[in-house]
Structure formats: C-alpha cells, structure tokens
C-alpha cells in the first residue's frame, strides 16, 4: 500500500465527462489498495476568465479580493469530483486550501507556501477517505485567501506530497511527459524516461511549461519523486527524480526556448563602483525580475550593460532604466523585444567539457548571431533574434543527438 498524490490539470478536468474519467482513474488507484490525495486545477480557461473579470473591474486589481476571485475555479472542480466519487460509492471529501490548512505568506497572486499541516489529512486517509484538495490556493496567517501564481496547483500537489511523505506525486496533464524539446517545434522530440530535479528546474525556468518551477524546487528539497504523465492514456510518463550516474552520462537532455523575454541595453555607462546597484535597485523595487546580465569590459572608463526582463515588464522596465540612465550619465538606452533565449540543459555538462563551444559551432554554421550568453553548471543559454528560434532548436536537437532513437528507426526500415 502506498500514499499517492494525483494532480490533474485544467484540460483533464475541462468538462463533466473528463471529471468522470478522472474519478475512474482515482478510484482505480484507491481500489488497488493505495491512499489517495487528489489535487485539481480549475477547468481549462476558467482562471483566465476570472483574471479577465478582475481586470474589467479595475486597472490594478491585484490584492486580497483578486485572489479571492481567481481561486474559485478550483472550488468548483474539487466539489464536482468529490460528488462523482461519492456517487460511485467511495468516501470522498473536498478540501479548500484553508481547510487543509495550507498556510502561505501574504503575497497575493504569487504567495509562497510556508507550512502544511498534514495531521488532519492523515487521519481522514486512514479512515479510507479519498481527499480532493483545491490546487493553487492557500490561506495567509490573517485568514486571507491567497493564490500561488499561475500554474500553482503543481506546487500544491508536490507540497502536499512532501508534507505527507507520499511515495509518489503524479502530475496528470495533456502531454505524455517531459520532452527533449517542444514537439510543436521539432517533430523529432522524444519523451524522456527520467530527468533529474536540477535538469527539470532549469527546463521549467527556461520555458518548458509542464511544471511550475516552484513545484520542482519543492520536489528537489524534499526528494519527492514526481511522475509527469498523460491523463488521456496509460503510457508511462517522465519520472523527475534524484540524479544518478546514468543521468550524468547524457551530456544534453533537453533544448528549451523562451520568447517571453526582452533585452535592454544601457550604453556608455561610467564604470564606477555602485553603478550596477543604482541601475538595478529601482527595477527590484518595481518588482521587475532581471534574468541574464552581460557587462562589457570598460574602455576609457565607460562600459555597456545589457540585461533581459520578461516581455510584460519590458515597457515599464525601459522607462525606469531611462530615468536612472540619465541620472548616472549613461549615453543611451536601447530596447529590443524581438529576442528569444535558446538553452541546452544536461546533468552531464558537469563532467563533459566543450559543450558550450559545440553549441556555438552549431549556431555559427546556420549563420545565427548570438547576442548574449549565460551558463550555469548544467545549462548554456544564448539570446538570438526571435526569427531564428525554431531553426536553432531543431539544429541543436539534431547536433546533440536528441532525436528519435536509432533502434526505432531500424525497426521501421
């Protein structure tokens, strides 16, 4: 007997038929002798609709009531699933975030989970109850309803699995697992059998949309095994787990791209201590996250500084930087939203040399100009003109041997 957390995304609970299918799968897992906690998203499109309504109500709706409104989609799906399960003769109970309770900080629209009390859930599970918990929501210490950021029900699921020391957290979604790259861009994309927490963390934050980044941080911290799989078939998914020797042998496991960033360059900045702090502090204060940063060596005591922000922060960021730039007597500020960040990720990079230069060679061969570069232990990212995104992804996928395995091709031939 195992304790399993099963999370179903918006498409998987998109209508009543699908909710009934989810109920069947949950019932099967339960009948096999497992304790089951289900975590649900809202029906697909519902959270967007609620966000839209809030923006109709106010230009700046984020705050206590915003979270109260956008968290309601999950209340509907968990209630419906619990009703269906009861109708099928099972003991089921739906729980909202505050009923668990899942306690978060008070950062509305992007709250972080602080603690989950698993005691009551454990008691219910031992009595043979299937628990159906609302994803995406929590409660702050003052009793306000909070939400965990878009895609946050992944994090609810993993955090509950961690709190209950579950044997497995299954994330059911509309794709079959984690792929070597986006199958919509590259037909050769292949489903990965396993991927390490660190690789998944990089992939999620670099643009792969299967899991919310925060959920992977939780999984890594508490070593929760996470299985990403399809809710529409029984195909084995991708296991996100601890790195082992086998994984280190694979140099590159995935290629990701992100078109959601924009580039800002500050030209001829006086090169003195404190200048970078002056430039970036106002951005931080405005809640704007800076991703890649590149600073040139200085010539006659001036330097150029380029960095990226998300597209939605671009206009606001540009304005803030223009103001600071004139204060610090920089020559000019230029912005470019037509960029993409292409990244290669692989645990094997820790022990293999020359991976970055191989990436640059491939780009050079295709005549793709690299505008910025950043690296970590297990990834290399390049910023390029957005028009090269698909080309870059395809040639890198091929060059690092990520295509469909030869064995399959031989059989077909």
Residues that bind Mg ion (CB under 5 A): 9, 151
Binding range to ligand ASP, per CB under 6 A, among 39-47, 107-115, 274-282, 375-383: 39-47
354's torsion region: left (phi>0), alpha (psi -120 to 50) or beta?
Answer: left
Q: Does 97 bind ligand ASP (CB under 6 A)?
A: no
303 binds, among Mg ion, ligand ASP, none (CB under 5 to 8 A by kind): none
Cis peptide before 101 (omega within 30 of 0): yes
Give the nearer residue to ligand ASP in terms of CB position, either 41 or 129.
41
- Among 36, 42, 134, 380, which residue interacts with ligand ASP (rule: CB under 6 A)? 42
Residue with tokens 């994984």: 247
108 binds, among Mg ion, ligand ASP, none (CB under 5 to 8 A by kind): none
- C-beta of 151: minimal distance to ligand ASP in Å? 5
Angle at 277 between CA 273 and CA 282, to 5 degrees: 150
Binding range to ligand ASP, per CB under 6 A, among 41-49, 54-62, 170-178, 347-355: 41-49
CA-to-CA distance for 48 and 44, rounded, in angstroms? 8
**Residue 383 has which token pair?**
């910023």
> What DSSP element (H or E) covers 136?
none
Q: Which of the residues 250 through 289 are near ligand ASP (CB under 6 A)?
A: none
97 binds, among Mg ion, ligand ASP, none (CB under 5 to 8 A by kind): none
Buried b (16+ CB within 10 A) or exposed e, 2-14: ebbbbbbbbbbbb
Q: Is 179:254 a contact under the CB 8 Å cutoff?
A: yes
- C-beta of 148: minimal distance to ligand ASP in Å? 8
Give the nearer residue to ligand ASP in terms of CB position, either 153 or 181.
153
From residue 88, give the alpha-carbon distance in Å to each of 28, 107, 130, 153: 12, 39, 12, 25
47 binds, among Mg ion, ligand ASP, none (CB under 5 to 8 A by kind): ligand ASP
Residue 298 in 3-state DSSP?
coil
- C-beta of 173: minimal distance to Mg ion in Å? 7
- C-beta of 207: minimal distance to ligand ASP in Å? 16
> What DSSP element (H or E) covers 294?
strand 290-295
Q: Which of the residues 117 through 176 are near ligand ASP (CB under 6 A)?
A: 135-136, 150-154
Looking only at the bridges linking them, the beta strands covering 3-8 and 168-173 are parallel
- C-beta of 45: minimal distance to ligand ASP in Å? 9
How big is the chain, counted in residues? Answer: 413
How far separated are the first and last CA of the chain, in Å rounded? 44
Give the nearer residue to ligand ASP in terms of CB position, either 149 or 403.
149
Q: Does 47 bind ligand ASP (CB under 6 A)?
A: yes
CA-to-CA distance for 30 and 395, rounded, in angstroms? 45
42 binds, among Mg ion, ligand ASP, none (CB under 5 to 8 A by kind): ligand ASP
- C-beta of 407: minimal distance to ligand ASP in Å? 36
Q: Which of the residues 68 through 87 are near ligand ASP (CB under 6 A)?
A: 73
Number of residues engaging ligand ASP in binding (CB under 6 A): 13
How many other C-beta atoms lie within 10 A of the C-beta of residue 32?
Answer: 11
Q: Is 35:64 a contact under the CB 8 Å cutoff?
A: no
Give the nearer residue to ligand ASP in terms of CB position, either 10 or 317.
10
> What DSSP element (H or E) covers 305?
strand 302-310
177 binds, among ligand ASP, Mg ion, none (CB under 5 to 8 A by kind): none
Q: Is 330:322 a contact under the CB 8 Å cutoff?
A: no
- C-beta of 376: minimal distance to ligand ASP in Å? 26
CA-to-CA distance for 149 and 287, rounded, in angstroms? 14
- C-beta of 149: minimal distance to ligand ASP in Å? 8
From residue 247, give the alpha-carbon distance in Å to each of 96, 192, 209, 225, 400: 38, 11, 22, 15, 15
- C-beta of 171: minimal distance to ligand ASP in Å? 10
- Among 11, 41, 238, 381, which residue interacts with ligand ASP (rule: CB under 6 A)? 41
- C-beta of 65: minimal distance to ligand ASP in Å? 17
Closest CA to 147 of 287, 260, 51, 257: 51
Q: Does 102 bind ligand ASP (CB under 6 A)?
A: no
- Contacting residues toward ligand ASP, per CB under 6 A: 9-10, 41-42, 47, 73, 135-136, 150-154
């Amino acid at each position: 007997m195992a304790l399993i957390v099963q999370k179903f995304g918006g498409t998987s609970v998109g209508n009543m038929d699908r909710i009934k299918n989810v109920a069947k799968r949950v019932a099967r897992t339960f009948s096999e002798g497992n304790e089951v906690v289900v975590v649900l998203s809202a029906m697909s499109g519902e959270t967007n609709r609620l966000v839209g309504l809030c923006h109709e109500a106010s230009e700046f709706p984020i705050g206590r009531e915003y979270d109260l409104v956008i968290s309601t989609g999950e209340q509907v799906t968990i209630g419906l699933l619990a009703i269906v399960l009861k109708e099928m003769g099972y003991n089921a109970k739906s729980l909202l975030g505050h009923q668990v309770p899942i306690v978060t900080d008070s950062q509305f629209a992007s709250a972080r989970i602080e603690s989950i009390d698993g005691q009551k859930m454990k008691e219910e599970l031992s009595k043979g109850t299937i628990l159906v918990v609302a994803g995406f929501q929590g409660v702050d210490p003052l009793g306000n309803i909070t939400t965990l950021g878009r895609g946050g029900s992944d994090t609810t699921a993993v955090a509950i699995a961690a709190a209950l020391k579950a044997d497995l957290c299954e994330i059911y979604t509309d794709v079959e697992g984690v792929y070597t790259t986006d199958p919509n861009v590259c037909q050769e994309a292949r489903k990965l059998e396993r991927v390490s927490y660190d690789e998944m963390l990089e992939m999620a934050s670099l643009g792969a949309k299967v899991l919310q980044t925060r959920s992977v941080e939780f999984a890594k911290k508490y070593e929760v095994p996470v299985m990403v799989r399809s809710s529409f078939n029984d195909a084995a998914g991708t296991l996100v787990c601890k790195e082992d020797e086998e994984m280190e042998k694979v140099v590159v496991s995935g290629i990701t791209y992100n078109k959601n960033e924009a580039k800002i360059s500050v030209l001829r900045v006086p090169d003195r201590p404190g200048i970078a702090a002056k430039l970036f502090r106002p951005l931080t204060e405005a809640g704007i996250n800076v991703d890649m940063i590149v600073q040139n060596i200085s010539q006659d005591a001036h330097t150029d500084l380029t960095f990226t922000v998300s597209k939605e922060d671009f206009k606001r960021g540009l304005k803030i930087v223009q103001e600071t730039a004139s204060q610090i007597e920089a020559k000019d500020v230029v912005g470019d939203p037509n960029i993409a960040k292409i990244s290669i990720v692989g645990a094997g990079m820790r022990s293999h040399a020359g991976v970055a230069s191989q990436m640059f060679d491939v780009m050079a061969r295709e005549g793709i100009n690299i505008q910025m570069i950043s690296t970590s232990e297990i990834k290399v990212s390049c910023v390029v003109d957005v028009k090269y995104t698909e080309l870059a992804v395809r040639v890198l996928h091929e060059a690092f041997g990520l295509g469909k395995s030869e064995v399959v091709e031989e059989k077909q031939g």
